[in-house]
Amino acid sequence: MTATVKIPLRSRYARGCRMLRDDDGRPFYTSRRLLTADARSDDILHEVKAGERIRQIAWRYYRDPGAWWVIADYAIQDGHRILFPDRDLTAGMVLRLPSVAQLQAILGSRG
């Protein structure tokens, strides 16, 4: 049996995507909207420290904990498995983050 979960209207998944739960209660999306994240010379490399959370990393570099999903999308495109960001981050993992200017371009084009 599959249950539908309401997605907040401000979410990037609000249009054209539904989040469902499988029989074990695990969430999944009917489609996934990843950023195109080709490597750029102004990308930032961050090595995850023990106990660090993805919102902390977003705050450190962008002063915006809500930008965590951009970091997660970049990580997925670099081959990391980031389904549950705070659980899936491991000490020593190197994350590629967009520069502040690139983040502003990403957030400005979400419309």
Between CA 43 and CA 28 the distance in angstroms is 29
Amino acid present at 105: A
The 10s digit of each residue's pLDDT in 69-111 is 888 888 877 777 777 777 888 999 999 999 999 988 887 765 4
The region, left, alpha or beta by phi > 0 then psi within -120 to 50, assigned to residue 2 is: beta
Q: Which of 61, 62, 83, 64 is nearest to 72 (CA)?
A: 83
pTM of the model as a whole: 0.69
- CA–CA gap between residue 63 and residue 56 (Å, rounded): 9
Q: What is the per-residue pLDDT for 7?
A: 56
Q: Residue 44: is its pLDDT beyond 80?
A: yes
Task: Kindly list the distances between the CA atom of residue 34 and the CA atoms of 63, 74, 84, 94, in Å, as whole numbers in the listed order.
Answer: 22, 8, 15, 19
